[in-house]
Amino acid sequence: MRFSVGDEVSVRNDWPEKRGPAHIRTPHYVRGRKGRVVKELGAFPNPEDLAFARPADPRQLYHVTFPMRGLWPDPASNDEVLVELYEHWLEAP
Amino acid sequence: MNVLEADGAALLKAITKLLSAKGVLTEAEIAQQRSAVDNAPPGQGARMVARAWTDADYRAQLLSDGSSAAEAMNIPMRGMPPLGVLENTDEVHHLVVCTLCSCYPKAILGYPPYWYKSAAYRARAVRDPRGLLAEFGTILPPQVKLRVVDSTADYRWMVLPRRPDGTQDWSIERLAAIVRPGDMVGVTIPTTE
């Protein structure tokens, strides 16, 4: 599904690298975590296929912020991490 | 064969020949791309920043489309990943990292410093960014939000730092001279000292 700026999203808690060779651009530390879309970055060929020379469909890329306090056990601040994530890794929370 | 033990030069030659034989890239295109990064003049990012500090239209262009703003300064961006530029303000400070590998705005800044690719920098930038910044001598006031930018995908990210106080009457050349590569990934802050 498409997301818009301001949408709350969850990152899929999926670990394709455990099922076999994979090229994943979704960092471990955001999987299963909640964030918010701050920008639509356009569509790019899916790197998970591109890396294996397979036909790579364009996927929407989003800039998603995550509050540090949702990522780490000792969250004192209001700091955040901004990550580029492809649409197929995001779902409505 | 273990790729880490391979003869790098021979491997490069073999891959270059294969890419060329399969029609993916010509040897000339590869040479052109390597030369663009090898010869990225160290001051060109600083000149973009100094121009953005003194020219509101250019600043708007830089923040909305970094690649076109680079091309406007005669920096070749053809074949390079799109450049995104994030603005530091008195409310938010950006710090750029690539936790997955070593993505860096090479078209603008050339090759990254050695620490940028280290596992320690990549891990601590997201896990303990204020502690990491303190080791670079950068202490952010607590009310300034730190936004760590993890370059995970197709963009390369650069920071537009804040213009230091007391530089109102400085020329664009003098401004450009104080902007360091670290200022443009947010590990340091431009200073007039």
Domain residue limits, chain B = 3-37, 41-184
What ipTM describes this predicted complex? 0.95
Using the Cβ of A40 and the Cβ atoms of chain B, whether some distance falls under 8 Å is answered with no
Instruction: Give the fold, CATH level 3, of B41-184.
Output: Nitrile Hydratase; Chain A (3.90.330)
Please give the structure tokens belonging to residue B51.
């121009």
Contact assessment for residue B110 and residue B37, using Cβ atoms and an 8 Å cutoff: yes
Averaged pLDDT, B41-69? 95
- Which stretch of DSSP H or E encloses residue A21? none
Q: Which of B87, B91, B144, B150 to mutate to test the interface with A (most CBs of A within 10 A)?
A: B150
Please give the structure tokens belonging to residue A23.
């090229």
Q: How much is the pLDDT for B30?
A: 84
Please identify which residue in the block is written with the tokens 């890396």: A51
Q: Catalytic residue positions of B?
A: 98, 101-103
Backbone angles phi, psi at B173, to 5 degrees: -70, -40
Residue A1 forms part of a structural domain? no
CATH number at residue A61: 2.30.30.50
The number of distinct structural domains making up chain A is 1
Contact assignment for A27 to B129 by CB distance below 8 Å: no
Residue A31 forms part of a structural domain? yes
Contact assignment for A81 to B126 by CB distance below 8 Å: yes
Using the Cβ of A29 and the Cβ atoms of chain B, whether some distance falls under 8 Å is answered with yes
Strands (DSSP E) contained in chain A are 8-11, 34-45, 58-67, 80-86, 90-91
pLDDT tens profile B106-154: 999 988 999 999 999 999 999 999 999 999 999 999 999 999 999 999 9
Residue A17 forms part of a structural domain? yes
Tell me which residues of chain B, numbers 59 to 118, contact chain A at a CB-CB cutoff of 8 Å.
82, 84, 86, 94, 99-100
Determine if the pTM surpasses 0.80. yes
Residue A77 has pLDDT above 80, yes or no: no
